[in-house]
Amino acid sequence: MSIKLENVTYTYSPETAYEMHALKTINLEIPQGQFVGVIGHTGSGKSTLIQHFNGLIKPTSGTVFFEGQDIWKEGYPLKQLRSQVGLVFQYPEHQLFETDVLKDVCFGPKNQGLSEEECKERAVEALEHVGLAEKYFDKSPFELSGGQKRRVAIAGVLAMNPKVLVLDEPTAGLDPRGRDDILEQISFLHKTRSITIILVSHSMEDIAKYVERIIVMNDGEKCFDDMPKEVFSHYKELEEMGLAAPQITYIMHALKERGMQVDVGAITVAEAKVSILQALAGDKGLELSSGAVKTDITAAVKNHSGKVRHD
């Protein structure tokens, strides 16, 4: 087990006219190695929540545990915690400052007190893991494209070898390919380094595609915490909170309403495709080249169980 919040509340400006309860009695546990999505409208408490994970914010009441230890107990090594739980803020590329890419990524491990050699090793590894080619290492970070800059910034956090990586809207403002590239890299990291990933995003499509669990925040409360399929089945409630479900969810529900026997729990393009093909093939009235459909379904199912790339 990795992160645990017990009855955590947080109040901004307590006992003043501006008092605001940003978090209200939050209880949750995130085991090591999970890929978690956090969604919620602007001001719902998402950012306040994630800043509790690495002790940037001290709860007004309640307890935060990391690996079983209360992080606010006297003598707890908070500094160490912050390199174990890496936080990538929104627009992290605004935080780049060094003269070249490699130096910038070295900054974190250097502060951890590692030797120059080790720092470099870590930095090179981290840059490889975010998919940035070696030819960029000695370039100024400011000469890179938006997507590349963001990868450098993520590498800077990775170089500290965190067990948990928290990303606050890592794809905002990126083009679709840049968006896919970054998320694929994050998912790759999750698999190869088995680190916990906590992804905050406004893109329900991205959330649907990658995470295994969704935490929904609304007005400082945790109102859903479940598998994506389950959470998105409450799409009407999500809309009331200013959120939405992926476009696919709406398609599947609309088809079902019109009498097609499709799986309304499908949330990605690949899942929807399989379900629709099955529904069509199951319907006798339809004369498709059924052999072709069948192989397609098996291929799609197979493809999907191996986590799809193409949706």
Partner 1 sequence: MGIIQATKLVFEYLKYGEDGEAKERDRAIDEVSLDVEEGQFIAVLGHNGSGKSTLAKHINALLLPTKGTLYVDSMNPAKENELWKIRQKAGMVFQNPDNQIIGNIVEEDIAFGPENLGIETKDIWVRVNESLEAVGMTAYRKKSPNRLSGGQKQRVAIAGVVAMRPKCIVLDEPTAMLDPNGRKEVLRTVRELNRKENVTVILITHYMEEVVFADNVYVMDNGHLVMQGTPREIFSQVDKLKEYRLDVPQVTLLAHELKQSGVEIPDGILTIEELVDALCQLN
Q: From CA 242, how far away is CA 75, in angstroms rounded?
A: 42
Alpha helices in 159-242 (DSSP H): 176-193, 204-210, 228-232, 235-240
Q: Cβ(293)–Cβ(277) under 8 Å?
A: yes
User: Whole-number minimum distance, CB 276 to partner 1, in Å?
Assistant: 6
Binding mask 193-222 for partner 1 (x = CB under 8 A): ---------x-xx-----------------
> In the bound complex, what is the minimum distance in angstroms from residue 130's beta carbon to partner 1?
16
**Site string (75-104) toward partner 1, x via CB under 8 A:** ------------------------------
Pairing of strands 213-218, 221-226: antiparallel
181 to 33, 171, 196, 238: CA distances (angstroms) = 21, 10, 19, 28
Among 45, 59, 228, 246, binds partner 1 (CB under 8 A): 246
- How far apart are the C-alpha atoms of 27 and 7, rounded to whole Å? 5
| Minimum CB–partner distance for residue 147 and partner 1 (Å) | 6
Cβ atoms 96, 152 nearer than 8 A: yes
Strand ranges in 75-176 using DSSP code E only, listed in sequence order = 85-88, 164-168
Smallest separation (angstroms) from partner 1 to the CB of 40 = 8
Under 8 Å between Cβ of 270 and 310: yes
Choice from 288, 298, 307, 309 touching partner 1 (CB under 8 A) = 288
The answer to whether residue 31 forms part of the interface with partner 1 (CB under 8 A) is no
Query: According to the binding rule CB under 8 A, does residue 269 interact with partner 1?
Result: yes
Q: How far is the CB of 289 from partner 1 (least distance, A)?
A: 5
Token pair listed for 43: 């001001």
By CB under 8 A, tell whether 22 contacts partner 1.
no
Which member of 289, 302, 305, 306 binds partner 1 (CB under 8 A)?
Answer: 289
What track of x and - describes contact with partner 1 for positions 136 through 175 (by CB under 8 A)? ---------xxx------------------------xxxx
Six-digit token string for 192: 């190869």
Nearer to partner 1, 143 or 212 (CB): 143
Determine the interface stretch with partner 1 among 59-67, 70-78, 153-161, 274-282 (rule: CB under 8 A).
Answer: 274-282
Output helix, strand, coil percentages for the chain, rounded to the nearest 5. Answer: 45, 20, 35
Residue 215 three-state SS = strand
3-state secondary structure of 142: helix
Residue 280 binds partner 1 (CB under 8 A): yes
Residues in touch with partner 1 (CB under 8 A): 40-43, 145-147, 172-179, 202, 204-205, 242-244, 246-248, 250-251, 254-255, 258-260, 269, 272-273, 276-277, 279-280, 283, 285-286, 288-289, 292-293, 296, 311
